Amino acid sequence: MEFVTPNLTNLLTTAVGFILFVWVLAKFAWGPILTLLDQRRDAIQGDYAAAEKNLEEAEQLRGEFESKLHDIKVIEREKVQEAVKRGEGLAASIVAKANEDAVQKVAKAEEDIELETQQAQLVLRDSVVAMAIGAAEKVIGERLDDQLHRRLIQEYIDSIGPGSAPHA
Amino acid sequence: MRLTPDEIIFWQHEPFKLNATIAFTWALMLVMVVGSKLITRRLSAGLHRSRWQNFLEIIVVGIEKQIAEVGLSRPRQYLGFLGTLFLFVAFASLCTVIPGYEPPTGSLSTTAALALCVMVAVPFFGIAEQGLAAYFRSYVEPTFIMLPFNIISEISRTLALAVRLFGNMMSGAMIIAILLTITPFIFPIVMSALGLLTGMVQAYIFSILAAVYIAAATRTREPKAERAASP
């Protein structure tokens, strides 16, 4: 049963050796590896933080762009409304000018009609006078003094007024 | 048939005796120190890493996670001791594939030495965490009558640690040796593979038990503090 009895020398040698072994590995293996893992963890956390920051900046830029886009749309709408107003004003002024022109033309036409009417009345009156003289000469058979005759007819015509001229 | 590597004597000069247990223990330690030095020489913090570094990082992170899962709040503080313990026992088992090699964990002297280290480490970490008075006060809680039982518990679990590892490793080696004499082909290879698995499991159990003992020693006062904090 010697194999189930630990050799004290072996036991102590191994124990001391193992403690030294733990110390050496802690110095040459665990330390550097853990430092490395920490460095990598820090680097990953740094990258993650940078990515988060970039995402935040991107979100902020997006917000700014959306705000600017909204402003641009507002300005665009205002300009369209302004253009519509200007167009409406222009159309109104054109219509007003056209109306004015039309009124002027109507007035001028009425004036022309009046002049033509007056001229026609004069011509008609002269014609009526001439016919009346001719008819009177045939009726009385003698030639009246032309100047007197005309005066009499004129007085007659004047007495019945200008509106009665076409009927005479 | 040899039952323990203690029986293989390489060199003897009274009163000194260099047996296989000591020789292989120191050889394993030397190989692991040189290996770790070589691997950690070219560590890279960047994206491009060697396979060895990846493998090493997986092991380190895995051990750290296991320690944390046991309940130790600062696993890195214990990683040096518990990680080295696990790697040593596991490497000692893995090397059984080398012809002529005898695992030092098949000697009660080695397993007892490792258990002794755990026995020393438990109060060491307990005192470091709680302070000298608070740690030793835990031995007389809930009453001073518990003092001898707690001391017996400390000694018995150390013995259990040593004997469990020794028994498993020695029995594995014995089974392979017996099978070699009965069926020298194929079957011993299967048993050797099974022995590797057993060795890894034992390394895991040994380290986890050590972590549990340390966790128990460093958290003795916590329940009281929690009770005081609760309304």
pLDDT for B227: 47
Distance CA B116, CA B213 (A): 13
Looking at residue A37, its amino acid is L
How many whole angstroms separate alpha carbon A24 and alpha carbon B40?
13
**Over the stretch A33-80, which tens digit does the pLDDT of each residue have?**
888 888 888 988 999 999 999 999 999 999 999 999 999 999 999 999
Both tokens of B147, joined, read 């003092």
Listed in sequence order, the DSSP H helices in B5-74 are 20-41, 51-70
What average pLDDT score do residues B41-68 get? 85
What is the ipTM for the molecules in this complex? 0.84
Highest mean pLDDT: which range of A50-59, B90-99, B117-126, B159-168: A50-59
Q: Which amino acid is at A142?
A: E
> Does residue A9 sit at the B interface (CB-CB below 8 Å)?
yes
Measure the CA–CA gap between B125 and B82, rounded to whole angstroms: 12
Number of domains in chain B: 1
Chain B CB within 8 Å of residue A36 CB: yes
Q: What is the pLDDT of residues B8-49, one digit of tens each?
A: 777 777 777 778 888 999 999 999 999 888 888 877 777 787
Distance from CA of B94 to the nearest CA of A (A): 18
Across the interface, whether the CB atoms of B43 and A29 are under 8 A apart is answered no
What is the pLDDT confidence band of residue B181, given thresholds at 50, 70 and 90? confident
Boundaries of every domain in chain A: 42-160
Rounded to an integer, what distance in angstroms lies between the CA atom of residue A35 and that of residue A39? 6
Q: Which amino acid is at B202?
A: Q
The C-alpha atoms of residue B51 and residue B41 are separated, in whole angstroms, by: 14
CB pairs under 8 A between A and B: 110
Cβ–Cβ contact A44 with B under 8 A: no
Given a cut of 60, is residue A148 above it in pLDDT? yes
- Mean pLDDT, rounded, for B103-116: 89
Question: In this predicted structure, which of B31-40, B80-89, B165-174 has the lowest mean pLDDT?
Answer: B165-174
pTM: 0.69
Chain-chain contact of A33 with B40 (C-beta, under 8 angstroms): yes
DSSP lists the bridge partners of residue B19 as B9
Which domain covers residue B45, as residue numbers? 5-229
Q: Residue A150 and residue A160: Cα distance in Å, rounded?
A: 15
Q: What is the pLDDT of residues A97-134, one digit of tens each?
A: 999 999 999 999 999 999 999 999 889 888 888 888 77
pLDDT digits (tens, 9 = 90+) for B199-231: 899 899 999 999 999 998 887 544 544 444 444
Interface test with A, best of B36, B88, B120 (most A CBs within 10 A): B36
- Return the SS3 of B12: strand
- Paired with B11 in beta bridges are B18
Q: Answer whether A3 sits within 8 Å of B60, measured CB to CB.
A: no
Instruction: Look at A55-64, A77-86, B2-11, B114-123 and tell me which has the smallest mean pLDDT.
Output: B2-11
The pLDDT value recorded for residue B2 is 64
- pLDDT recorded at residue B226: 47
